[in-house]
Amino acid sequence: MQSANMLLKKFVRSSVLPFAAQHGMKKDLFPVSRTLSLSLCLKQDNSCNPSEKLDLDAWKKVMKSGLQEEVSETVSEHKELSTLAAAREILEMWRLAGRSVPENISEEQLKTFMECPSKSAKKKYLRYLYLKELYKKNDRRKMDEKRERRLETEERDSKTDETRRNSFICLWASCMDRAYSWRVAQSMIFGQPLVFDMSYEKDMSIREVANTVRQIVLSEGCNRRSVDPFHIHFCNFKDDSLYHKEFVKQYREAWGKLLITATDQCYTEVFPKDKLIYLTADSPKVMKTFDHDKIYIIGSMVDKSIKTGVSLARAKRLGLETAALPLEKYLLWNAGAKNLTLDQMMRILLTLKDTGDWKAALEFVPKRKYCGFVSRPVHELKKSLNLINTLKLGKRQEELRKQFTKNYSKKLMQK
């Protein structure tokens, strides 16, 4: 650990500026040199009047002349293209036109692109691929830069070459892994169950399923590293479902060794019904405290197009108790939907389980969604607001109400 700190300090101190400057210069130097040579040629005929001299259609000649030979080839090749190749051509043209189109596209992606039902769907899909590519490129660039910097520091370190004494061998990661696994294994026997309901596959698009699985992987990671993990159950989990395929894609060979319980049974068959609580943002009931004897169910669904009431409907159908997080009560909500991602849910539940402190737990709600914590519960605020109003307006409202009931009873008497 210490060695790493040392390394880092060195990273920071070794400035990156010269390296970057070199690169930048190289880029700029090339065109500059070329344009310089050009301007030299042009200077010679600068003596005459520019407006006469300037041949405005010169570019057409250049374009037509320079490419005549190539053209003859392309024209001869001009035969009926297969649809895939044609699509590839169009994408290439779009890229040249400066649209958000990826440079490289696989056959599979191309097929997906062709199957998009509308023009806007195609555009969105291309944009998604394009951004994905950009992220990848940037990551690769960062990796390369980091490698270079590391090599530099290593060279410098090797010169100093001091042997460090350390009672620990560097096996941190595997040790930690083993410790975590022990904990999770214990939780599999003694821990509180937490159910992921895997029955939403038909409500989602393929991409949403992929996102869902990604979020579950994250939450499983959080759970594994927590002090007192949940015993995770995947219920209604069918083999060879989309979920399953995605999980295998994410976990690869670790999928078989994962310390969770996956079952195709419903949670109502596995657990007693009265202990189950379905967590859903649409629930009319608000969770007050975290109950250690109850079994919470999280619906594994990403709904990009907000599908209200899907999970609530599921809970209603099975006659389960439901609950929503008390977001309104503790947070001044700002914007955004109140459905949180699965990993956020997991972290909130873990924190509640360990501390029971709502404030600490709701730290995991994205900061952009709320303006701040409410120091006093909202209903108290409302009460004082009412008090102020009654002070301001006198006791008008109350009186009005009373008067109405009086009049009303009179009416009844008359009848």
- Restricted to residues 148-167, the positions that interact with another protein (CB under 8 A) are none
Does position 391 interact with another protein (CB under 8 A)? The reply is no
- Residues 213-272 touching another protein, rule: CB under 8 A, are 218, 221-222, 225
Does position 116 interact with another protein (CB under 8 A)? The reply is no
Does position 39 interact with another protein (CB under 8 A)? The reply is yes
Does position 93 interact with another protein (CB under 8 A)? The reply is yes
Does position 57 interact with another protein (CB under 8 A)? The reply is yes
**Shortest distance (Å) from residue 265 CB to another protein:** 21
Backbone angles phi, psi at 373, to 5 degrees: -80, 150
Tell me which stretch binds another protein (CB under 8 A): 104-112, 236-244, 298-306, 369-377: 369-377
Pick the closer one to another protein by CB: 68 or 189. 68
Tell me which stretch binds another protein (CB under 8 A): 133-141, 231-239, 250-258, 273-281: 133-141
Pick the closer one to another protein by CB: 144 or 269. 144
Tell me which stretch binds another protein (CB under 8 A): 65-73, 192-200, 264-272, 297-305: 65-73
**Shortest distance (Å) from residue 293 CB to another protein:** 26
Does position 385 interact with another protein (CB under 8 A)? The reply is yes
Tell me which stretch binds another protein (CB under 8 A): 15-23, 109-117, 191-199, 245-253: 15-23
Does position 12 interact with another protein (CB under 8 A)? The reply is yes
> Which of 115, 264, 269, 363 is close enough to bind another protein by CB under 8 A?
363
Pick the closer one to another protein by CB: 189 or 411. 411
> Which of 145, 269, 357, 399 is close enough to bind another protein by CB under 8 A?
145
- Residues 299-328 touching another protein, rule: CB under 8 A, are 308-310, 312-314, 316-317
- Residues 168-187 touching another protein, rule: CB under 8 A, are 170, 172-173, 176
